Amino acid sequence: MANHIRIKSSKNLRFKLISLLYLLFISLSIIQIPIEWLRINGPISAYLMKPQIQKIKYPQIQKIHNLVIHLNNEFNKLTTDAVSGKFIEPNEYSKTDRFFITEGNAVPLHHELKLLFDFFTTKQSNPVKKSEFIRLFKDDISNGLTNTDATKWAEWKFKHAPSAVVKTLLADLLLRLNLLNGAIEVSNKPEHDEPMLKMAFNTESSRVGDSIKFLIQDKTDLNVLINDMGKPFPINSWRGDTLIFVPAHAGTFDLILDRNGDVERFQIHVQAKEFAFDAENGFQTFYQGKKSQIEYSNLPDIGSASCSCDKKLVLKKSSKSLEFTPNSSGWCRFVLRSSNLELLLFDSVYIQPVPIPFIFIEGSSENKLSYNRLIQTKKISFAARHPEMPDFIYSVESIQIRLIGVGNKTITINGPDIFLTEEQVKKLRYIIIESVKVKTSNKYFDLDNQMVFQINN
């Protein structure tokens, strides 16, 4: 059997392309991690902190251990609320870059880690400890830990790291120091000392009527309430260990978890609802003067409804819709409020101007008019309509025409109808429309596009 397999250059290029696509897929997957993932960093940090050192054996470890705790405390002052202890912006990284890179707080950390590397790889005679250090800090060593300059390691470790992730990075570093020191024990503190709120779902873009979910660590002896603009009220909508909250109006709410005086707070920003557009009416067009209907969904009892383009807006609760006739073009703003005047829905739709109508003669087909019909009625009726405005009234005020065969002069008719004698009908060959004046409920049109209708014998 041959020791080598020969691969064609074309296949080799294909394999490289597939590998590159896999890399791209993994990178995009990481970028698309939802914001809720950042919220589990608190519980992760707590688990990483469970292993505790009874006694630090090495002064070198003690020094860097104290430095990590100091940096963690200083970073917390910069990124967390002093009262609640929650991150101000858990997914923000500008403060991370400023604290560790711009202000240089990663430099002393890199310096002490490098000294620790020198101690365990060159000065420490125990080969087991040397291999243990290399195993624990393998990625750091590959990314500039042994360099004299701290820049490469600092950027690899902290650059653009969200604030919530930095807490986990520092807790992970303490855990590795504890493992390197040895003689650790796992803290068996009650679960109540861990964060009561494990994860929150649908909090970043929640709207009125949406279901917001909170995964709770333990419900034992837990009192939960929502503070709504200073008015606290208890909630008890549970599904297992998940708390369901459906906001009844827009605004800022505070979730308060209280277990025997130990309190955690979580702030929820709820936006007003928007209109529900499904596949059937997703491209719905609204015109000035046209009676229209728009639907809403999943809203509690509505006290009042208003819009900026129709003061006579009709609220239809049975069909969950609003009926309106816009009196102007442009953006039309809709507001729905509860009986307590709390905001429920705030949205806008664009109102198109009244469309220009099409002019035609009643009874004509493809710009041809039947002679037999005309000889019976002796009447020509002009009309103006638009296919998207079936119930909209376009009134023909006046029209200028030429009756070819009867005469060649332009005549003006007031209104939509002209009556002819039998002799005129027999002579008539063509009807040429020169201009038309059309009136709607709120607009006039002067149309001067020439049209020709033939008398079909």
For strands 286-287 and 343-352, give the pairing.
parallel
Distance CA 315, CA 388 (A): 24
**Residue 228: strand pairing partners:** 231, 253
Q: Which residue has the tokens 């279901």?
A: 211
- CATH class for the domain made up of 286-352: mainly beta
Q: Which residue type is seen at 279?
A: A
Q: Do domains 191-270 and 286-352 have the same CATH topology?
A: yes
In the prediction, which pLDDT does 238 show?
Answer: 83
In the prediction, which pLDDT does 192 show?
Answer: 44
- One digit per residue, the tens of pLDDT, for the chain of length 457 reads 445 455 555 555 666 666 666 665 655 554 444 444 444 444 455 545 555 555 677 788 888 888 988 888 888 888 877 655 666 777 788 888 899 999 999 999 999 999 888 888 887 667 888 888 888 888 999 999 999 899 999 999 999 888 888 888 888 888 888 888 775 444 444 444 567 887 877 777 788 888 888 888 888 888 888 888 777 766 768 888 888 888 888 888 888 888 888 888 888 888 888 887 765 555 788 898 888 899 888 887 888 999 999 999 999 888 888 999 998 889 999 999 988 888 999 999 999 998 889 998 888 888 888 888 888 888 999 999 988 888 788 899 999 999 988 888 899 999 999 998 888 888 888 898 999 999 987 788 998 888 899 888 7
Angle between helical axes of 41-48 and 163-181 (0-180°, round to 10): 10
CATH 2.60.40.10 holds for 191-270: yes
Report the CATH architecture of 358-456.
Sandwich (2.60)
* pTM attached to this predicted model: 0.51
CA distances 313 to 310, 333, 432, 433, Å, are: 6, 12, 43, 40
For the chain, the domains span 36-186, 191-270, 286-352, 358-456
